[in-house]
Amino acid sequence: MAAGDDSLLVRAASMLQQESAGVAELRSVLEALLGRCHDQQRLLDRVTRLSDGYQRAERERGHDHLKHYLRELRRVEKIVRISDRYQVMLQEMNGRLVSMANTDALTGLANRRFACEELESRINLVQRNNGSLCVALADIDRFKQVNDSFGHAAGDKAIKLIADTLQAGLRDYDLCARWGGEEFLILLSFSRLDDAGQLLERLRLAIESMVFGVAETTLPLSISIGVSEYRSGEASFEVLKRADEALYLAKNAGRNTVCSL
Amino acid sequence: MNDLNIAATSNTPGIKACRATGRVSLSGDSYPENSFEFFQPLIHWLENYLTQEKQPLTMELSLAYLNTSSVRVMMDLLDMLEEAFGKGIDVSLIWFYEAGNERVAELAEEFKEDCTFPYLVTPGPA
pLDDT in tens, chain A (261 residues): 444 557 878 887 887 777 776 788 888 888 888 888 899 999 999 999 998 888 888 888 888 899 899 988 998 999 999 999 999 999 988 999 999 999 999 999 999 999 999 999 999 999 998 889 999 999 999 999 888 888 899 999 999 999 999 999 999 999 999 999 999 999 999 999 999 999 999 999 999 999 888 878 888 899 999 999 999 999 999 999 999 999 999 999 999 999 999
Q: Is the pLDDT of residue B125 over 80?
A: no
Residue B13, pLDDT > 90, answer yes
SS3 B3: coil
CA distance to A27, B30, B120, per residue, from B104 (Å):
90, 13, 13
Are residues A86 and B66, on separate chains, in Cβ contact within 8 Å? yes
* Domains of chain A, residue spans: 3-66, 112-260
| pLDDT on residue A136 | 97
What is residue A5's predicted lDDT score, i.e. its pLDDT? 56
Residue of B nearest to A83 (CA): B68
User: Angle at Cα A49 formed by Cα A46 and Cα A52, nearest 5°?
Assistant: 150
CB atoms within 10 A of CB A49: 10
Instruction: Give the number of beta-carbon pairs within 8 Å between A and B.
Output: 36
Out of 3.30.70.270, 3.40.50.450, 3.90.110.10, 3.30.1330.30, which CATH number does the structure's domain A112-260 have?
A: 3.30.70.270
- Which domain, by its residues, includes B97? 4-123
Q: Which residues of A146-172 are buried (b: 16+ CB within 10 A; e: fewer)?
A: bbeebeeebbebbbebbbebbbebbee
pLDDT band at B126 (very low <50, low <70, confident <90, very high): low
The interface predicted TM-score (ipTM) is 0.83
Q: What is the CATH number of the domain that holds B22?
A: 3.30.750.24
Per the CB < 8 Å rule, is B113 touching A78? Answer: yes
CA distance A108 to chain B (A): 21
d(CA B56, CA B81): 11
Nearest in space to A145 (alpha carbons), one of A246, A220, A255? A220
Query: What is the pLDDT, as a whole number, of residue B56?
Result: 94
**Tally of domains in chain B:** 1
SS (HEC) of B58-73: EEEEEEEEECHHHHHH
B65/A79 CB distance under 8 A:
no
